[in-house]
Structure 1
Amino acid sequence: MTRIADYFQPDSVLADALPGFSPRPAQTEMATAIATTLKKKQQLVVEAETGTGKTYAYLVPILKGSGHAMISTGTKALQEQLFHRDLPALRDAIAPEKQVSLLKGRSNYLCLHRLAQSQAQATEFTKLVQKQLVEVKRWSIHTEDGDVGGLSSLPEDAEVLPHVTSTVDNCLGRDCPDYEKCHLVLARKRALEADIVVVNHHLFFADMALKDVGFGELIPHADALVFDEAHQLPDIASQYFGEALGSRQLTEMAHDAKAIYLTELKDLRQLDKAADKLIGSLRDWRLAFPIDPQRGNWRQFAEAESVQEAAQQLTESLTFFRDVAKTALGRSQDLDTLYERCVQFIHIWNLLQDTQRTGYSFWYETTPRHVVLHQTPLQVADKFGRYVRDSDAAWVFTSATLAIGEDFGHFTRLLGLDDAQTLCLPSPFEFAKQGLLCVPRFLPQPQQREMLPELVQIATKVLDANRNGGTFLLFTSHRMLQLVARQLEALTNRPLFIQGSMNKRELLRDFIHAGNGVLLGTSSFWEGVDVRGSALTCVIIDKLPFAAPDDPLLQARIEDCRMRGAEAFTQVQLPPAVIALKQGAGRLIRDRHDKGVLIVCDQRLVSKPYGQQFLASLPPLRRTRDLQQALDFLNELTGDTSA
């Protein structure tokens, strides 16, 4: 019988099947540990640094194992890469009999019923949405899986998509006339029949929290569960174990009511009026909040008289809407579903108004047009940990960033993984030869006004030295990003790629194509971005990524930590900042041929005692406080030693 380690030898079937495959001791160690975990149905937490080859390290034991397995990824992009690229190549080589399936959340699948509804009321839409609707209809005739990601003729955020996909709130379930042909139902059926199903973290927790009706059977079906990019799990779990309600959901419900009036119940004029009244109250509700998008403490903000008045008006509009819908129950399946949806929204709305309950953070966030209220549990360890212990399954959690130094306590404590084995695997890269870490001397403190011109000056010096390579400028706030971007536009003729100017995928593609571009990004570019070679030879980070002190969720966790008698800074604030910096730094060296410079523009890295925890978690690059050494290194990379 072939041992798992044998698959990672120079003369193995993998070496024959995968171009460029080469054995890595850490990869073999990880695969062997996972195979043991699967066999004994234990829990394993693995930090595998960049270059370890963790994807193959968990796929081989999963493919050679027995029973059903679920692999959950941090993003849809990684989910698709795994399903379309990595899994097929390995499966064909070592386990061609295994059936593999991809499953996304319901909003990724075309809803045939809502498409028909939208076509019936097309004249109510804008010209743009009408045009997009024609594209969707044309595509719907040919698609096999109904995944709207395959609608390449439309942008990712096309306005038509909410009109032709369903939510858990408006889905008719088995009562839908198109249930037998439903793309989502068929995708779930394939997932239940597969040996291995690839999902993402949001979908996993939607299922675990049983919020997605008719999908709760998938997780208990698994004998083994693997979570890639597992560092994201605590925050995502908190979202799904809490409650949230936004004005966008309520507005969509009102528009769905108007569609029912226009297409099915044309005599129910009162329903149209109730929808208009609700939409008006939602506009007033948004005006009760500051104009600029922000996050805030809902428990405190709810005490304002103007907010209470707007909330009362919205409560009355919701109640009126529910009562009107109730009068027509039984006349339309869509209306019956709408009524149930409204009752559920009113229940959540009332929960969110009762802000005196303990154990939760109550907070709000706004966009230019909408408001979302949140109730987030301060800890999920008991619930998640119990779920893991009670399951008869193996659980594997892996990421490049899970430990603080080599201590996994922060991660395992947040998820209640008291019985988990841990493994910390180093990268095979020669960081000391491949890169340089610079913390420039004489920088102002991050909050000082002088920091902006200093940051711009460092960036322009780097761009002068890094002529033929690409540069990332990673920020902890959108405000600083915009300030630096405005100044750089006047100071360089290098192509600038600014987050928000186009979607992330296009921005990254154009940056790589430019070869010597400058990309300015915030949190979404700190992780999950893979740029190799000279297209990225310098990463500049503006400051240590501590969460904003006025973040209401952070404040609640700090308060809860203090009440338990623990030290809030070391337990609540420091660990996620260390992991976030680790993620940002990980953008630089992506393979053994990469070279580059990491510049962190924050004196606290060397002046504060906690700076040592950050440094201990970073790749072992050569270090300097002299910016000129970093510039010289970049000049050498471009072959220009004149500077």
Structure 2
Amino acid sequence: MDLEIVVQEAFSAEGVLSRAVDHFVPRSGQAEMAVAVAHAIENAEVLVVEASTGVGKTFSYLVPALLSGERVLVSTATKALQDQLFGRDLPRLISALGVPVSTALLKGRASYLCLHRMELAFHDANLSDVTSTRALSRIQGWSHTTRTGDMAELSGLDERSPLLPFVTSTRDNCLGAQCPKVSACHVNLARREALAADVVVVNHHLFFADLAVRESGVAELLPTVRIAIFDEAHQLNETGVQFLGKNLSTGQLLEFCRDLLAAGLQLARGLVDWLAVVGYCEQAARELRLCAGQQAPGAKLLWTATAPEQLDPLAWRAALLDIHQAFEQACEVLLTVSEIAADFVRLHDRATELSARALKFSQDAVPGCVRWVDVGLQLRLVESPLTIADAVKTRMLEPSALHSSTPALPAKSWIFTSATLGDDAKLSWFTEPCGLSDARILRIGSPFDYASQAALYVPLDFPKPGDAAHPASVAQSAAAWASRLGGRTMVLTTSLRSLKLIAQALQTALAPVGEIEVLTQGEMPKRVLVERFRQGSAGGQRGCILVASASFWEGIDVPGESLQLLIIDRLPFPPPNDPMSQARSKALEAEGKSAFNKYFLPEAAVALKQGAGRLIRRESDHGVLVVCDPRLGAMGYGKRLLKALPPMQRLESQAQLEARLDQLTKICTTL
């Protein structure tokens, strides 16, 4: 039977999903997207779908993919979403549809326990303290019971733990076939299972890392699947440019030094003056860091000439050449002991690569790329393409690019979907930088009744965002508004500086009363922070106001009454001094286009839409969005930004806002 017909029936009121999936409600938008995906699968098309919050896009792409009987690759934005797809959504649908489908989960190698490095860690002088020893013993105990070796299985181990690099591997330090533990390698097991499965779930970072260096296992996997689906596709371009460029950091250099010293003293003590070799490399890395001098934390130095802005060109190039020479010397030394252990062979490969990168960065940038330096505790040198368009066209969409030895592979179906992909009919914010301008476009609106569920308020009498008084005004207003609700408020900021200022002012304003707890990004792991916010005042706890930035603008799901007031501090325009923003602006201006209209405004529209999407997550949710930026109501371009938002009721005054908040409080009281 025709796949589109089968899919249409599955999503009907009497279909298999309504009979087998708890709480399934037929939605016209969900069925429309599913049929479009089925059509793309049958006709080997490229389909781009913007499916607004509430559509249920996961079922819309998984159902036709599972019913197709084809091999499928699904890529999503994060490891957490991978786990959700693999552990919850896929098993439910496979059971409901009754299809004989095998599934596999494939993450990057840093997500899996490395048995060899775990053994080395017990002899590492950097991990000799009691806390590290206990943690290592706990990991060792778990290693005897786990089948997958996925570090996410180990409860209580913070994903930010400094211990993780000591017990997992990277492309740089993996010994490959020479590893003494290769037969029990968890990474190899995951790759074998992925190659054998009908449906494989990966993440965008893994996909593009493989596209760049053909190392993660996707290179062998992709030619064998005919359907490739990218969920949360709005992150593809920014993720892709990270991996398709080049980078060199003092952190990488010092990590090599640490591994070299540990291996040298453990496996070839006395044969080489390891302290001297490592000391030379460490000194070269530190000299490069010193070249950058005192910079503001998180600074990005644009690099359009011989050296980054503000830095001495001669000293900068000399420091890079010193690194090149120091690591060349390390290569020569490692050759003398390479037959002793495979560890030294891999270290030689790493030293060769780091030496080559230092030499490359001492030369001019590749045309069409942008260079900059990230300054923090370490220095990170970056050379990146402006978009992934060329890579998508030549390395993905062209069948021969996937596997040169099998040019007769059947044409693939490519599905790209997200809740936010642009603010125009062509979704050009997404399709142009991703090389998908010729794709079929489908936009599915939200099933939510925003006019009755949500309201928007823009205070026109607020200080402008550039005013020094702006953060304090946001905090003062947020404290007053949140107090009316007893918490249930999230403040999204456009910068970490604003986050700190607003959070501190909120602490000061709310501390004397003590009825509302201020949660601030960075105080605890993101997962713990969001869980506390979801709890709100349940169980006699205090109500919450969460102040966050960056990754909290998307992917945060807080349904129900835990979030009823969402405050955005200012319009989320890209920072004009960011190297990537500057390079993209110059490229547009060179084509005779307006950088503001073609780059800055669409970026702000999409980011604003993503942030606003945190407010209404279910048909029963109610809330208010406040954007503390008078430009949204006063400037001409504000109309385009307002059009990007869901059709919420517009509140015209502070009095109307307070009345709406009081109404929300009454609703919560009666529930």
1:513 aligns with 2:535: yes
Question: Alpha-carbon deviation of 1:113?
Answer: 1.2
Verify: 1:591 aligned to 2:594, yes or no.
Answer: no
Instruction: Give a deviation string over 1:517-567, Cα, whole Å, max 9, x none.
Output: 100000110000000111000100011111111111111111122222222
Is 2:327 the partner of 1:314? no
Distance 1:166 1:152, change over 3 A: same
Q: Letter of the aligned partner of 2:259 in structure 1? A: D
Which of 481, 489, 494 is residue 476 of structure 1 equivalent to?
A: 494
- What does residue range 304-343 of structure 1 map to in structure 2 within 5 Å? 304-343=313-352
Partner of 1:526: 553
Residues 128-155 of structure 1: CA distance to partner in whole angstroms, max 9, x if unpaired? Answer: 3222211111111111100011111322
Mapped pair 1:384 → 2:388: no
Distance 1:545 1:106 in 2: 34
- Structure 1 474/356 Cα, relative in aligned 2: closer, same or farther at 3 Å? same
In the alignment, residue 551 of structure 2 is paired with which amino acid?
Answer: S
C-alpha spacing 1:25/1:537, structure 2 compared with 1 (3 Å)? same
Partner of 1:298: 303
The alpha carbon displacement at 1:379 in A equals 2.8
| Residues 121 and 263, structure 1, Cα contact 8 Å, conserved in 2 | no
- Give the counterpart letter for 1:187 in structure 2: A
Report the CA distance between 1:430 and its aligned residue.
0.3
Contact kept, 8 Å, 2:476 with 2:509, in 1: the verdict is: no
Secondary structure, in 3 states, of the residue corresponding to 2:180?
coil
CA shift in 2, pair 1:635/1:124, >3 Å: closer
- Secondary structure in structure 2 of the residue aligned to 1:495: strand
CA contact (8 A) 2:207 2:218 kept: no
- Deviation track 1:77-121 (CA, whole Å, cap 9, x = no partner) reads 111111111110010111441001111110000111111222244
Partner Cα separation in structure 1 for residue 551 and residue 387 of structure 2 = 24
Q: TM-score, normalised by structure 2?
A: 0.92
1:613 aligns with 2:640: yes
One-letter code aligned to 2:300 = R
SS of residue matched to 2:285 = helix
1:399 counterpart residue number: 418
TM-score by length of 1: 0.96
Say whether the 8 Å CA contact 1:472–1:518 is kept in structure 2: yes
The aligned amino acid for 2:173 is: N
Query: Partner residue of 2:523?
Result: 501
Contact kept in structure 1, 2:371 and 2:382, CA below 8 Å: yes
Deviations 1:398-436 (A, max 9, x none): 111012143312211111113210001110100000010
Q: Could you say what the CA RMSD is over the residues aligned between the two structures, in angstroms?
A: 1.9
Deviation at 1:465, TM superposition (A): 1.9
Q: Report the alpha carbon displacement of residue 456 of structure 1 after superposing the two structures with TM.
A: 2.0
For 2:29, what is the secondary structure of its paired residue? Answer: helix
Q: Distance in 2 between matches of 1:183 and 1:512?
A: 35
Q: How does 1:47-62 map to 2 (within 5 A)?
A: 47-62=50-65
The aligned counterpart of 2:402 is: none
Instruction: Kindly provide the amino acid, as one letter, of the partner of residue 208 in structure 1.
Output: L
Tell me what 1:27 maps to.
30
- Corresponding residue for 1:435? 454
Amino acid paired to 1:504: K
Matched position secondary structure for 1:168: coil
Tell me, what secondary structure is at the counterpart of 1:638?
helix
Displacement, 1:211?
A: 4.2
> Is 2:600 aligned against 1:573?
yes
CA contact (8 A) 1:245 1:373 kept: yes
Q: How does 1:6-405 map to 2 (within 5 A)?
A: 6-121=9-124, 125-212=128-215, 215-289=218-292, 290-293=294-297, 294-299=299-304, 300-301=308-309, 303-367=312-376, 369-391=377-399, 392-405=411-424
Cα distance in structure 1, aligned partners of 2:576 and 2:393: 29
Change (3 A) 1:626 1:641: farther
In structure 1, C-alpha distance between the alignment counterparts of 2:654 and 2:319, rounded to whole Å:
54
After TM superposition, give the deviation of residue 309 of structure 1 in Å.
4.7
Counterpart amino acid of residue 326 in structure 2: S
Supply the distance in 1 between the matched residues of 2:551 and 2:58 (Cα, whole angstroms).
21
Distance, in Å, in 1 between the alignment partners of 2:229 and 2:630 is 38
The 1:444–1:120 alpha-carbon spacing in structure 2 relative to 1, beyond 3 Å, is closer
Structure-1 residue corresponding to 2:403: none
Give the drift of 1:247.
Answer: 1.4
| Structure 1 position 413 matched with structure 2 position 432 | yes
Per-residue deviation, residues 301-323 of structure 1 (Å, max 9, x unmatched)? 35445544543443332232223
**Structure 1 residues 636 and 214, CA gap change in structure 2 (3 angstroms):** closer
* Distance in structure 1 (CA, Å) of the matches to 2:446 and 2:99: 31
Distance 1:449 1:504, change over 3 A: same
- 5+ residue gaps, structure 2, are 400-410, 538-542
Query: What is the CA deviation profile of residues 317-366 of structure 1, one whole-angstrom value per residue up to 9, with x for unaligned ones?
Result: 22322232233233321101110111111112222222454211101112
Cα pair 2:321 2:359 within 8 Å, conserved: no
State which drifts further: 58-67 or 274-283: 274-283
User: What secondary structure is seen at the aligned counterpart in 1 of 2:391?
Assistant: helix
* 1:124 Cα deviation after fit: 5.7
Distance 1:483 1:42 in 2: 49
- What is the letter of the counterpart of residue 82 of structure 2? Q
- Whole-Å separation in 2 of the counterparts to 1:602 and 1:625: 14
Counterpart Cα distance in 1 of 2:415 and 2:438? 12
Counterpart residue type for residue 431 of structure 1: Y
Q: Tell me, in whole angstroms, the C-alpha distance in 2 between the residues paired with 1:491 and 1:214.
A: 53
Residue by residue, what CA displacement relative to the aligned partner does 1:220-273 show, whole Å, maximum 9, x if unpaired?
222001111100001111111101111111111111111111221112332332
Secondary structure, aligned partner of 1:45:
strand
Assess if the C-alpha contact under 8 Å between 1:361 and 1:377 holds in 2. yes
Find the counterpart in structure 1 of residue 653 from structure 2: 626
Mapped contact 1:439–1:627 kept (Cα < 8 A): no
Q: Determine the structure 1 residue equivalent to 2:576.
A: 549
The 1-side partners of 2:655 and 2:316 are apart by 54
Return the alpha-carbon distance in structure 1 between the equivalents of residues 279 and 134 of structure 2: 26
With 262-271 and 391-400 compared, the bigger mean Cα shift is at 262-271
**Aligned partner of residue 3 in structure 1, secondary structure:** helix
Change in Cα spacing, 1:438 to 1:124, as seen in structure 2 (3 Å) is closer
Deviates more, 1:169-178 or 1:583-592: 169-178
Matched residue SS, 2:570: coil
Find the partner of 2:468 among 445, 449, 452: 449
Residues 256-291 of structure 1, C-alpha deviations (whole Å, 9 max, x = no match) = 111111221112332332113222332333233335
- Equivalent residues of 1:434, 1:594 under 8 A apart: yes
SS of alignment partner, residue 639 of structure 1: helix
Worse overlay, 490-499 or 624-633:
624-633
2:408 equivalent in structure 1:
none
In structure 1, how many angstroms separate the alpha carbons of the residues matched to 2:216 and 2:190?
15
- Aligned partner of residue 472 in structure 1, secondary structure: strand
SS in 1 for 2:433: helix
SS of structure 2 residue aligned to 1:169: coil
The 3 A distance-change label for structure 1 pair 640 and 631 is: farther
2:300·2:373 contact (CA, 8 Å) conserved in 1? yes
70-79 or 202-211: bigger deviation: 202-211
Q: Is the 8 A contact 1:208 1:219 kept in 2?
A: no
| SS of residue matched to 2:524 | coil
Structure 1 residue runs of 5 or longer lacking an equivalent are none
Give per-residue Cα distances to partners, 1:570-608, cap 9 Å, x unaligned.
222222221111000000000000000000011221222
